[in-house]
Amino acid sequence: MDGGDGASSGGSRFRLYDQLELQEFQDKYVIKSIESPNQGFSIGRRDGNVEPLTGDDACSLSPSKVSTIYGVVGSIRLVAGTYVLVITSRKEVGTFLGFPIFKVMSMTFLSCNEALKFSTSQEKKDEAYFRTLLRTVESAPGLYYSYEADITLNLQRRYKLAEGWMNKPIWKQADPRFVWNRNLLEDLIESKLDGFIIPILQGNILKFLIPNSLNLKSSHVTITLLSRRCTRRLGTRMWRRGANLEGDTANFIETEQLLELEGFRSSLLQIRGSIPLLWEQIVDLSYKPRLRIINHEQTSNVVERHFHDLLQRYGEIVAVDLTDKHGDEGELSAAYAAEMQKLRDVRYVSFDFHHYNGNANFDHLNVLYDQISEDFEKQGYFLVDMEGNIQEEQKGVIRNNCIDCLDRTNVTQSFLAEKSLNIQLQRIGVLTSSEGISMFPEEYGKFRTLWAEQGDEISLEYAGTNALKGDLVRYGKQTVAGLIKDGMSAISRYYLNNFHDGVRQDAMDLISGHYTVSRNSPSPFQLNGFESLSYLPVASALIVGGLTLTSFTLQNVGRSAQQFMSSSHLWFANAIRQTRIAATAEAYTCSSWPMHHGEGCLVGLLGLIEDFKGAISPETSEKRDQVASKA
């Protein structure tokens, strides 16, 4: 290992310190590399100041506690203290181009807030609320990193980097769009502690091996899915919609499907993101809040900025819009289509997923493929041979969206990924031109499961539940068990959107820098009715009770579906009615969270029940929209 900037593994490639010792003293924390104990830094417990260790830092006192940590995620300054986030447990989940990848399993904040004792009572209250947000951050899902490789860059970009790029500190190699903790790294960067600066990716990394049953002579096929979530408009399902004025969209994710065998490496990129208009969907206790398009003079510029950025990064873009063409979705889709007509360099394709596919199967996605196959196959994929020579380049991407960019998008992306995988395997010679992976049931099942699990992880990060329509990805059709699971997920999303995600959004805005704590400004919690949320515990308890009793009926789902639905509707509808009574008595809407104000009124919740019915006994999406609009 070499000196202060980082460890070296095999030549000059940069590598981070992977195991650290945390020493706790009365006045400071000391963090050292276990392998190179002379490398480390201290953090003052009074002011949070970071100081690199020097040869004069030997301390005669013994630390009160010593523990092992696996990385420093960064630090954040609040009203009266600084808090340092560290990784306390990890799990190796595979490799990326041969380098180990770890998933963050647990994190904790170290408190450097001795100055809090000198703060005013209001400052202490504010600090206490901000610390509840930090506890939410500690359990953030889907965080991954590597000590030896930058996982924010896709395969094609890596192969096109200038010589010597990989010798830089890993945080300097990274694509800042996909660095979840970028805002937390400032103190470490300023102190030039490159060997301790870990770029964290939010998304997912999943892989599986296909044994040599696909006409392979001596090798396995490895397929990896790597999804990278953009942090520019980070948020939760109902609290982050559409685009900002810079053209950054909510739930923007780059998904890469990597194929490795016999020295060959290939990849397919797809992207997803919310419709890049200015629009919102304010939570108001209704199951399906109305979509509202914000008519702004900058709308056309926002759309242009968004796609200009994509064209610069990915090449040709085909924008596939999977939303319904009626109701609120239809109005939003029509506005999107009108703006896309102004762009000459981007092809826009409108495909009403529910109209063609319903809830039954995705065979009708071939109708979509017929419309885009020429562009999709022309865009191609990236391929390098065993000598590292580039054989194929991907010249563009498909950009998918539905309303949430979750369920319909997952199904469509998995469908296109299968098409490309067949082309790649045929190109390399593993399959003949008449073969496809679907002809190998065991391997095909694993491939579909990989995509279904990827959809679940992405959905958990944005919506708080597994993806809906997962059976369409796993089996190509919907099952009764899958319908019931989707119904329960729909109910869970409703609860999370109304009673939980506002706080999650506050936490995301805090750590991503979209909200900055100012130590000399008035409290942000004094004027927004924060303390008038007394009905929420009652409402939450009633909803949870209804959910519990609804879930209990699942144990008896062996009875007829009608009996199941009657029982579950009764319990959940009762919870809804009681919640509305409690909320009306309080005369307060839960859309006004401490840092996220929203105007709304208490409206009917029975649209949720109708949607749950639709999950068990599928109706047309037109009828569901009529029910929601009447509620």
Does the structure show a pLDDT above 50 at 209? yes
Does the structure show a pLDDT above 60 at 294? yes
Domain check: are 398 and 524 in the same one? no
Q: Give 311-314 contacts, CB < 8 A, sequence gap 24+.
A: 311/345, 311/346, 314/269, 314/271, 314/396, 314/397
**Per-residue confidence band for 183, with pLDDT thresholds at 50, 70 and 90:** very high
pLDDT tens column, 576-627: 544 444 444 333 334 334 455 332 222 223 333 333 443 434 344 444 344 3
In this prediction, residue 597 carries a pLDDT of 37
Burial of 458 (0-12, 13-18, 19+ CB in 10 A): buried
- Domain boundary (487, 517, 534) is at 487
Domain check: are 354 and 503 in the same one? no
Which residue did the predictor score with more confidence, 617 or 453?
453
Domain check: are 481 and 616 in the same one? no
- Averaged pLDDT for residues 389-411: 95
On whether the CB atoms of residues 256 and 154 are closer than 8 A, the answer is yes
How many domains does the structure of the chain reveal? 3
Q: Is 133 helix (H, G, I), strand (E, B) or coil?
A: helix
Domain assignment present for residue 578? The answer is yes
Strand partners, 82: 77, 112
Domain assignment present for residue 283? The answer is yes
- Could you give the angle at the alpha carbon of 259 between the alpha carbons of 258 and 264, nearest 5°? 125
In this prediction, residue 170 carries a pLDDT of 93
Domain check: are 138 and 69 in the same one? yes
DSSP 8-state assignment for residue 199: P
Q: How far apart are the first and last CA of the chain?
A: 66
Residue whose tokens read 């359990």: 139
% of the chain with per-residue pLDDT over 90 = 52
In this prediction, residue 470 carries a pLDDT of 58
Domain check: are 540 and 460 in the same one? no
- Domain boundary (458, 487, 516) is at 487
Does the structure show a pLDDT above 80 at 7? no
In this prediction, residue 361 carries a pLDDT of 61
Identity at 70, one-letter amino acid code = Y
Domain check: are 510 and 401 in the same one? no
pLDDT tens column, 52-67: 998 665 566 788 999 9
In this prediction, residue 108 carries a pLDDT of 97
Q: Give the predicted TM-score (pTM) of the model.
A: 0.82
On whether the CB atoms of residues 547 and 575 are closer than 8 A, the answer is yes
- Domain boundary (460, 487, 514) is at 487
Domain check: are 306 and 423 in the same one? yes
Domain check: are 463 and 550 in the same one? no
Domain check: are 267 and 284 in the same one? yes
**Calpha distance 76→185 (Å, rounded):** 9
Q: Is 394 helix (H, G, I), strand (E, B) or coil?
A: coil
- Averaged pLDDT for residues 353-370: 81
Domain assignment present for residue 526? The answer is yes
- Averaged pLDDT for residues 374-386: 97
In this prediction, residue 478 carries a pLDDT of 64
% of the chain with per-residue pLDDT over 70 = 73
Ranked by mean pLDDT, the top range of 53-67, 148-162, 545-559, 591-605 is 148-162
**Per-residue confidence band for 565, with pLDDT thresholds at 50, 70 and 90:** very low
Task: Quote the mean pLDDT of the chain.
Answer: 81
> Cα dist. 93→68, 88, 181, 207 in Å?
20, 16, 20, 9
Domain assignment present for residue 205? The answer is no
Does the structure show a pLDDT above 70 at 30? yes
**Per-residue confidence band for 434, with pLDDT thresholds at 50, 70 and 90:** very high
Which of 312-316, 347-351, 595-599 has the lowest average pLDDT? 595-599
Q: Which domain holds residue 91?
A: 7-155
In this prediction, residue 617 carries a pLDDT of 41
Residue whose tokens read 């009905």: 535
Domain check: are 324 and 438 in the same one? yes
**Calpha distance 193→198 (Å, rounded):** 10
Residue whose tokens read 């999943």: 206
**Calpha distance 213→419 (Å, rounded):** 20
Q: Beta strands 7-8 and 14-15: pairing type?
A: antiparallel
Domain assignment present for residue 179? The answer is no
Burial of 330 (0-12, 13-18, 19+ CB in 10 A): middle
**Per-residue confidence band for 305, with pLDDT thresholds at 50, 70 and 90:** very high
pLDDT tens column, 465-493: 766 665 566 656 666 666 666 667 667 66
Token readout for 322 is 């999977």
Domain check: are 98 and 226 in the same one? no
Radius of gyration, alpha carbons of the chain: 26
Domain assignment present for residue 425? The answer is yes
**Calpha distance 405→341 (Å, rounded):** 22
Domain assignment present for residue 171? The answer is no
Which residue did the predictor score with more confidence, 247 or 211?
247
Q: Where are the alpha helices (DSSP H) in 139-271?
A: 155-159, 170-173, 186-190
Domain check: are 398 and 519 in the same one? no
Q: Beta strands 396-401 and 316-321: pairing type?
A: parallel
Does the structure show a pLDDT above 90 at 518? no
Domain assignment present for residue 185? The answer is no
